Amino acid sequence: MAGGAAVLEDGSLISRLDRGLLKLERILALLSGIAVFSLMILAVVSVGGRNAMNAPLPGYVDWIEQIMPLIAFMGIAYVQRNGGHIRMDIFIGALRGRALWLFELISVLLILLLIAALVWGSWAHFLRSFDFAAPMWSRDSSIDIGLPIWPAKLLAPVAFAVLGLRLLLQIWAYGRALVLGLQTPVAVPLVQSAAELAAAEAGQLAGHDSGSGQE
């Protein structure tokens, strides 16, 4: 999204579930970041080996195929929780109250339908690759060094399933806000204005500065 978003918390059940799911989402996002870093290391090793000893990393492309699903999918639920995906902030920012929560509820419901289809399709794709009776439990493998492909295919339905849980939680939160007429519901990203976003960033910088001063 173009601006920023804040997710409020309290002691309610839905907020506790939100924080519990956030722990899992952070772990998956961390794995995605580690995958990006490992890809950089692989590139350095491969290019360095080619230039220094004329011996690039064997199966470099195969390893990239294994790592790419980690980079592409593992962080999507965390980004959804924080309102970081692309959306029409100009239109959303003009809505208030129940109209806003209704629009958000319909949007998340449509996303959930798409994610449910992706979970079903990606799981079926994984099952076509996985076989307990096959070598390394895999019916297919990478072209160069023969890495089993089913671990990479499994990552997609896992990540989409976690995103589906996040969407279900947001549907609950938006529905609750719509029925009760809440102004600031918990467990969903609330769009911040430019002034609110600047104030939040200034508060974070002030906190870092005060911490440095104490040290």
Q: Quick one: what percent of the chain has pLDDT higher than 70? A: 84
- Print burial letters for 81-117: b (CB count within 10 Å at least 16), e (below 16): bbbeeebeeeebeeeeeeebbebbbeebeebbeebee
Q: Strands 189-192 and 4-7: what pairing?
A: antiparallel
pLDDT tens for each residue of 112-123:
999 999 999 999
pLDDT tens for each residue of 40-56:
999 999 889 888 888 88
At 49 the pLDDT is 87
Q: How confident is the model at residue 60 (pLDDT cuts 50, 70, 90)?
A: confident
pTM of the prediction? 0.84
Q: How confident is the model at residue 1 (pLDDT cuts 50, 70, 90)?
A: very low
pLDDT at 106 over 70: yes
At 55 the pLDDT is 80
At 195 the pLDDT is 61
